[in-house]
Amino acid sequence: MDSSEAIFDALKDIGIDFIVSVPCVNLSKLLNMIDDDDEIIHIPVTREEEGIGICAGAYLGGKSPAILMQNSGLGNSINALKSLTQLYEFPLLMIMSHRGTEGESICGQVPMGESTPRILEAMDFKFFKPGNPEGAYEDINEAWEMSLEEGRPVSVLLEISYW
């Protein structure tokens, strides 16, 4: 099983039926799989904070939401994550392509790559860093359960070496 299949299977198995995404080359195969699935509503957006708001509305409408994005967009969405999802206790699964880690070819991705875990910790948001497809499957299941129980976003960071 490859990484995209493991993530897709996990999303399906936990009942994620509403996904917002921001374009990411590392997530392109997964996004194509999501687009081909009639049971998942997929809304591409241009900015991460826009996606956070749409996911909150989807949750209020009875959906189980997730956002797929690069970690570089975390900075764009901090206010929405804290003042909307945390304040109103919305669960949200955040699948992030963790750019700027070992093997990154674009030097401009490195500063945010190094800062992402510390930013999530400072926001008091839990996150997982799976090392292989089986780990991603398990971590996505655990992250969603934790998000539902705690009523707050939980992230799964997929490092570039993972793909």
Q: Is the pTM of this model over 0.85?
A: yes
What one-letter code names the amino acid at 78? I
Number of domains in the chain: 1
Domain that holds residue 67: 3-162
Cβ neighbours of residue 55 closer than 8 Å, sequence gap 6 or more:
18, 20, 65, 66, 67, 85, 90, 92
DSSP string over 27-66: GHHHHHHHHT-TTSEEEE-SSHHHHHHHHHHHHHTT--EE
Q: What is the pLDDT tens value at each position of the chain, 163 positions in all? A: 688 999 999 999 999 999 999 998 889 999 999 999 999 999 999 999 999 999 999 999 999 999 999 998 998 999 999 999 989 999 999 999 886 567 666 676 655 667 889 999 999 999 999 988 889 999 999 999 999 999 999 999 998 665 5
Residues 127, 157 contacting (CB under 8 angstroms): yes
144 token code pair: 């969603």
CATH of the domain at 39: 3.40.50.970
